[in-house]
Chain A
Amino acid sequence: MSGSRPYRTGRAAMLPVLLLCLLLAVTMAAGLKWGSRVFDWSALSAILWAGGGGTLERTIVLDIRLPRILLGMLVGAMLAVAGTLMQGALRNRLAGPELLGVSAGSSLAIATITVLHLPVPFHLHPLLALSGGLLSGGAVVLAARSIGGTGMLLTGMAVSAMLNGMLVVLIALGTGNDVNLLYAYLLGSLANRGWEQVARLLPWCLIVLPIALGLARSVNLLQLGEETAAGLGVRVERIRLTVLVVSALLVAATVAQCGPIGYIALLAPHLTRAMTRAQDTRVVLPVSALCGAALLTLADQAARLWLEPMEIPVGVWTTLIGGSVFLLYIVLRRGGGQHG
């Protein structure tokens, strides 16, 4: 990769950060204003700041639209951070939770709980999702250790296919025609979520994101290559394992609330690196969190508003757009890639 390039400081990141904040603010405002009921700006600000508006209006804005946007931001940020960490730790720019089987494992765990009505309290769901994600992700990483980057992705996809097969078995056997379950466990959606989900996600976010930021320095060293990192006194395997567990944790927490939302984790780091021209994980990590938040809220609001009143789960859109970009990237990279 480009480990030899001198790391830049965060100054080059200022403009992208400002732009992303602007994008996020615009998306948020648009998401609050439009929908099956359109508010004008003064009414909106009255509801938000002055406690105005009727009960119905307040419910729509404060209990339906606002938590959804916040949830989208949190999930997007967590996914993007997870993607950045994975790509750094595995030194593979194509790595992402959806391609390594982590998302599929987590959603299978959550689906098992829901479909079979297992008596598990809600706040433990992320932990079970984590164990599912870690099991499948760990299996993929271990199984593919010797076969290089592309091989690892293919292994991940095969494992995902297997887990998705089990998921379909579970849904088909368990629930007949429950479309909502499919949205939640196969496609990934932010619809019909409220403050409850935000509250469940927030602790994970607050605990794990700082840890992830703390790992940025180690990821920087890992990016230099295994031998260089070991020469600099890094315990490569242990750090790598920590990083993977942390990113699996981030993904699992989001999957427990929203299902597997694809390709955000893959796309956000790439976009960030392209925008900031930085390789330093200490810069890339926070900016890509912002980028992921902006991307996911944008995609979600587009999914909500474009085909109104129909709603397509946001996971479909992110797969469509993110997958296409990813495909383009694989094809263009062919010349220079050394990983197969």
Chain B
Amino acid sequence: MANGGPVRASARRRLLLVCGALAAILLLLALLHLTYGRSALSSSDMWRALLGTSEDAGARHILWQLRLPRVLVGLMAGAMLGLAGAILQIVLRNPLVEPSLIGVSAGSVLAIVLAMQYAPTLLGSGWRLALLAMVGGIGTTLAIYALNGRKGNHGARLALTGIVATSILQALTSLLLLRQQQGLASILLWNFGSLNGRVWTHWQSLWPWGLTLIALALLLARKAAVLRLGEEIASGLGLATGRTRLQLLLVAAALTAAAVSVVGAIGFIGLIGPHIASRLVGGRPLRLFPVSALLSAVLLSGADWVSQSMTLTLALPGLEHRVSSLPVGAVTMLLGAPFFLYLLRRSRPG
């Protein structure tokens, strides 16, 4: 404690360094996304469109109307999912939880699909969609939390309950979508998550929620830090633990639901981001929350770029002339599942 000053200063320097580096990567990724995509236009055309010196209306349209909103939606959704993951891991005191693993995403998706089918008039605008998704997400969170009871939220059991609940909710979603004859495209979109075809309207319905909720989460970070000390110490320090936990859970569910209502149930981003972030800056929520948001934004955006450009290079037999877009959720799943295995093995030695 005596040398708390220098330690704190160096930690702050580290935090600034990490944040700066992440912001730089973010910018780089966005530029990469904007200029090296799949289109007939060369990347020098796109650079000219970006710098405002292009006469080509097509290039300008692609850049400003198609690619830019997609990049922005990806970044915002990634940040929201990552932050939600970080909060959930702290509140549930469980390194294995993640919005899509404990059923929040699937619940949100189910609420949206239900509304699409039975009350399409409710879906007038984007913010209502997000609100509906929140009802589903928060409901699922509370249900899972209650099913496990307070003692059962430790360890792997919560993840198991969550995964089974997710598969039930996903089956329900598939059922509804199939009844509606919407088939594969929308099942893939909602159950795996995709950034394909995201335009400015999506961004407009996402950013108000995103900014508000991220700000709210950062405001709660100090309380989360106290909560992290343990139930008894936290209540000894005068924190209303039950209420704080509920607040944090609600914010996490709302973050997830708002993101999911625009991009579908993209999995594992909220697992990888916070864990790498805690390696970089430690587990204190005040530092962890912003860094995991940034890092997850980088991750999702990167995964999206990979999923978009994969079709460019893949030349499998029979697939040469197919042009289709891979849902980014599939890529995050491929990246995230091994990571989950690694965490699982690390969290239960022996």
Binding site for B on A (CB under 8 A): 115-117, 143, 146-148, 150-151, 153-155, 157-159, 161-162, 164-166, 168-169, 171-179, 181-182, 187, 262, 307, 310, 312-313, 316-317, 319-320, 323-324, 326-327, 330-331, 334, 340
Q: How far is the CB of B185 from chain A (nearest CB, A)?
A: 6
Given the interface contacts A182-B184, A330-B157, does A323 sit within 8 Å of B168 by beta carbon? yes
User: Which of B160, B171, B341 contacts A143, CB < 8 Å?
Assistant: B341
User: Which of A164, A166, A173, A320 contacts B314, CB < 8 Å?
Assistant: A173
B76 CB–A CB distance under 8 Å: no
Known A116-B316, A168-B326; further 13 A-B contacts with Cβ < 8 A: A116-B317, A147-B344, A158-B338, A162-B333, A169-B331, A172-B326, A173-B324, A177-B184, A182-B187, A319-B170, A319-B171, A324-B168, A327-B165
- Which chain B residues border A150 with CB–CB below 8 Å? 155-157, 160
Given the interface contacts A312-B179, A316-B175, does A162 sit within 8 Å of B311 by beta carbon? no
Q: Which 10 A-B pairs have the closest CB atoms?
A: A165-B333, A162-B337, A319-B171, A323-B168, A168-B330, A179-B183, A165-B334, A150-B156, A158-B340, A161-B337
Binding site for A on B (CB under 8 A): 96, 147-149, 152, 155-157, 159-161, 163-165, 167-168, 170-172, 174-175, 178-179, 181, 183-185, 187-188, 192, 267-268, 310-311, 314, 316-319, 322, 324-327, 329-331, 333-334, 336-338, 340-341, 344-345, 348, 350
Nearest B residue to A319 via CB reads B171
User: Which of B268, B317, B345 contacts A147, CB < 8 Å?
Assistant: B345
- Which chain B residues border A164 with CB–CB below 8 Å? 333
Given the interface contacts A176-B322, A187-B174, A327-B164, does A154 sit within 8 Å of B327 by beta carbon? no
* B344 pairs with A262, CB closer than 8 A: no
- Which chain A residues border B170 with CB–CB below 8 Å? 319
| Alpha-carbon separation in the docked complex, A154 to B148 (Å) | 16
- Which chain B residues border A169 with CB–CB below 8 Å? 310, 326, 330-331, 334
| Alpha-carbon separation in the docked complex, A177 to B267 (Å) | 22
Given the interface contacts A177-B183, A182-B184, A334-B149, does A155 sit within 8 Å of B344 by beta carbon? yes
User: Which of A153, A173, A326 contacts B319, CB < 8 Å?
Assistant: A173
Given the interface contacts A162-B334, A177-B183, does A154 sit within 8 Å of B174 by beta carbon? no
- Which chain B residues border A327 with CB–CB below 8 Å? 147, 161, 164-165, 168
Q: How far is the CB of A317 from chain B (nearest CB, A)?
A: 8
* A154 pairs with B164, CB closer than 8 A: no
| Alpha-carbon separation in the docked complex, A161 to B332 (Å) | 10
User: Which of B324, B331, B341 contacts A176, CB < 8 Å?
Assistant: B324
User: Which of A153, A172, A174, A175 contacts B325, CB < 8 Å?
Assistant: A172
Nearest B residue to A181 via CB reads B184
| Alpha-carbon separation in the docked complex, A116 to B184 (Å) | 19
Given the interface contacts A117-B318, A159-B341, does A165 sit within 8 Å of B330 by beta carbon? yes
User: Which of B164, B174, B344 contacts A151, CB < 8 Å?
Assistant: B344
User: Which of A143, A262, A340 contacts B167, CB < 8 Å?
Assistant: A262
* B326 pairs with A173, CB closer than 8 A: yes
Q: How far is the CB of B180 from chain A (nearest CB, A)?
A: 10
* A168 pairs with B168, CB closer than 8 A: no
Nearest A residue to B323 via CB reads A176
| Alpha-carbon separation in the docked complex, A148 to B344 (Å) | 11
- Which chain B residues border A161 with CB–CB below 8 Å? 267-268, 333, 336-337, 340
- Which chain B residues border A151 with CB–CB below 8 Å? 156, 344, 348
- Which chain B residues border A116 with CB–CB below 8 Å? 316-319
Given the interface contacts A117-B318, A172-B325, A331-B147, does A154 sit within 8 Å of B163 by beta carbon? yes
| Alpha-carbon separation in the docked complex, A169 to B267 (Å) | 15
Given the interface contacts A312-B179, A320-B172, does A326 sit within 8 Å of B333 by beta carbon? no
| Alpha-carbon separation in the docked complex, A150 to B344 (Å) | 11
- Which chain A residues border B345 with CB–CB below 8 Å? 143, 147
| Alpha-carbon separation in the docked complex, A151 to B310 (Å) | 33
* B337 pairs with A310, CB closer than 8 A: no
* A330 pairs with B340, CB closer than 8 A: no
Q: How far is the CB of A312 from chain B (nearest CB, A)?
A: 5
| Alpha-carbon separation in the docked complex, A172 to B311 (Å) | 10
Q: How far is the CB of A24 from chain B (nearest CB, A)?
A: 25
User: Which of A178, A312, A324 contacts B184, CB < 8 Å?
Assistant: A178
Given the interface contacts A148-B348, A327-B164, does A174 sit within 8 Å of B318 by beta carbon? yes
* B344 pairs with A320, CB closer than 8 A: no
* B164 pairs with A330, CB closer than 8 A: yes
* A146 pairs with B344, CB closer than 8 A: no
Q: How far is the CB of A305 from chain B (nearest CB, A)?
A: 15
* B157 pairs with A340, CB closer than 8 A: yes
| Interface CB pairs A-B, < 8 A, 29 | A116-B319, A117-B317, A148-B348, A153-B160, A155-B341, A161-B337, A165-B333, A165-B334, A168-B188, A168-B327, A169-B330, A169-B334, A173-B314, A173-B319, A177-B184, A178-B184, A179-B184, A182-B184, A182-B188, A310-B179, A312-B178, A316-B171, A319-B168, A320-B168, A320-B171, A327-B164, A331-B148, A331-B161, A334-B149
* B344 pairs with A154, CB closer than 8 A: yes
* B344 pairs with A158, CB closer than 8 A: yes
- Which chain A residues border B175 with CB–CB below 8 Å? 312, 316-317, 320
Nearest A residue to B341 via CB reads A158
* Residue of A164, A165, A176 with most chain B CB atoms under a 10 A cut-off: A165
Nearest B residue to A327 via CB reads B164
Q: How far is the CB of A23 from chain B (nearest CB, A)?
A: 23
- Which chain A residues border B267 with CB–CB below 8 Å? 161
* A330 pairs with B168, CB closer than 8 A: no
Q: How far is the CB of B341 from chain A (nearest CB, A)?
A: 5
- Which chain A residues border B163 with CB–CB below 8 Å? 154, 157
- Which chain B residues border A115 with CB–CB below 8 Å? 318
- Which chain B residues border A117 with CB–CB below 8 Å? 317-318
- Which chain B residues border A176 with CB–CB below 8 Å? 322, 324
